Amino acid sequence: MDRKSHVIIGSGINSLVAAAMLAVKGDRVTVLEREATLGGCMRTEEATLPGFRHDVMATTFVLFLTGPAWAALGKDLERHGLKLCHARHPTAVLRPDGSSLVLATDRAANIAAWNALSPGDGDRHAEDVGRVERDAPFLFGLLGGALWSRQTAKLVGGQAWKRGPRGLAEWFGHALTPARAWLETGYTSPLVQALWAPWGLHAGLTPEAPTSGQMGRVIAFALEAAGAPVVEGGAGRAVEAFARLIEEKGGSIRTNADVARIVHAGGRVTGVELAGGEHVAATSILASVTPGQLYGRLLADADLPREKEATRRFQHGRGNFQLHYALDRPPEWLTPGLEDVALIHLTDGIDAVSKSANEGERGMLPEMPTICVGQPHRLDSSRCPEGKAVLWLQIPDGPRVLKGDAKGEIETDGVWTDEVRERFADRIEAILARHIRDFASIRLARRAYSPADLKAMNMNLVGGDPYGGACGIDQFFLWRPFKHSRGGETPLKGLLHIGASTHPGPGLGGGSGFLAAKALGA
């Protein structure tokens, strides 16, 4: 009997997870990537100077390490060269006045440090992460499982029996709490509040957004338990390991293979047609694209009015701005204790994060952006020549649609020009340089990527949105990508929608690819 054949459109984390799982199962797999480089948002380049390796977009693999895809594929990927590098201090916050707070991968140490700052804050931290730990089977079953399934119905039913209807309602009410309410009612230390305030942005949420408090608690638990690992040699090495595993199992991977349309007949997909006219047959297709790409381009000829109307209403979130530095030596932070921290947020706290996010959502260049600074050279010495350093900066509140400058200094005409990009990078650099001794003298080179630059590298990053769509509760969880849909299912038999736009959502976890592969029998 002929093996099942799958065409996978795109080569991001979800595509590669699905392809690897199906190939390991023994199915015939073809991955088609329109760009010359595999990996989607996993991309490592010598973006500044020769010998300095930068993760141009995504860098931290904590969601992958703690998710089911790693459990299924980790050993095979390690066999093909994937190695994760860890830090004892995954994150910290640095405020404008130079005060800071560092998180360790040691709960007892964190509890003691928090209580020393403000009596009771450490005990609250223990309660918050402990609750996530106790609720893990239920919580992560909802966040990462197939929602429209007998297993999830059984999971929710079991919790209703265990907690009672009121107890279950209370649990969901707690999960809907915004980060501002969580932090301001739970912690009295401004440093503890500031440490967690920016992390919701990395889930596409602002401090006032429902569920941002729950996501903050989940992130706190994950960082404390698993750190903020990066891939030795760069995120691109993870892509190489996936590719070797897929090809070892007989799969095919093609770059510069732009899928122009999905071919279908009688309500079932039969294959895809490439931009050059080539036809690739398949019994199933997994499309790792945005709804706009799927229903507006690949299925433009399909009579699917409900999906196309939902696509018209689908919203995208803020854009990302990336900034990378090659340094002549490791940065000497003016605030001690930050040298070995993987990811440092530069912000004053909840109000500052809220302000910058709001400005970004309104299309304004933030006056004081929230800045995430990664120090990958501290985890992985292969990222740069000996004695040198690299910095990875992400600004998660960049305007997707540019309308102006909140500070009134940078003239814009609605377009991310090179001049606008570099002047905004100057603003970010000025903030960074206040905290590093003699930054100008150790700065060898920098490379900035605006939301428009990111979209040019990956068409799924609409307006630089790295999350596949807005992550507010009205467009997430049961309703991602559409309120009437069932996760990755589509009206066409054999077609599954995967990627950041679908449940479980964005991040380097590979969740939707894992669920799709399981649905196909992997």
The whole-angstrom separation of Cα 87 and Cα 329 is 19
Residue with tokens 């003298």: 441
Cα–Cα distances (Å) from 249 to 27, 242, 511, in that order, read 9, 11, 21
pLDDT at 501: 96
Kindly report, residue by residue over 1-23, the tens digit of the pLDDT: 356 899 999 999 999 999 999 99
All structural domains of the chain with their residue ranges: 5-40+63-83+233-314+467-519, 107-226, 316-457
pLDDT at 486: 86
Q: Could you count the other beta carbons within 10 Å of the beta carbon of residue 187?
A: 23
The whole-angstrom separation of Cα 479 and Cα 471 is 10
pLDDT at 4: 87
pLDDT at 2: 54
Residue pair 19/251 in contact (Cβ under 8 Å)? The answer is yes
The whole-angstrom separation of Cα 397 and Cα 449 is 14
DSSP string, 449-497: E-HHHHHHH-TTSGGG-TTSS--SGGGSGGGSS-TT--TTB-SSBTEEE
Task: Measure CA of the first residue to CA of the last residue in the chain; give whole Å.
Answer: 18
The whole-angstrom separation of Cα 131 and Cα 8 is 38
The whole-angstrom separation of Cα 342 and Cα 85 is 10
Residues of the chain with pLDDT > 70, as a percent, come to 99
pLDDT tens digits, the chain, 522 residues: what are they?
A: 356 899 999 999 999 999 999 999 999 999 999 999 999 999 999 999 999 999 999 999 999 999 999 999 999 999 999 999 999 999 999 999 999 999 999 999 999 999 999 999 999 999 999 999 999 999 999 999 999 889 999 999 999 999 999 999 999 999 999 999 999 999 999 999 999 999 999 999 999 999 999 999 999 999 999 999 999 999 999 999 999 999 999 999 999 999 999 999 999 999 999 999 999 999 999 999 999 999 999 999 999 999 999 999 999 999 999 999 999 999 999 999 999 999 999 999 999 999 999 999 999 999 999 999 999 999 999 999 999 999 999 999 999 999 999 999 999 999 999 999 999 999 999 999 999 999 999 999 999 999 999 999 999 999 999 999 999 999 999 999 999 988 899 999 999 999 999 999 999 999 999 999 999 998
Q: Give the pair of three-digit tokens for residue 168.
A: 């279950």
Fold classified for 5-40+63-83+233-314+467-519: FAD/NAD(P)-binding domain (3.50.50)
- Residues 66-96 as b or e (16 or more Cβ within 10 Å = b): bbbbbebbeebbeebebebbbbebbbbbbbe
Q: Give the pair of three-digit tokens for residue 97.
A: 């006045």
154: which residues sit within 8 A by CB, 6+ positions away? none
pLDDT at 487: 82
Kindly report, residue by residue over 235-272, the tens digit of the pLDDT: 999 999 999 999 999 999 999 999 999 999 999 999 99
| Residue 231, Cβ density class (10 Å: 0-12 exposed, 13-18 middle, ≥19 buried) | buried
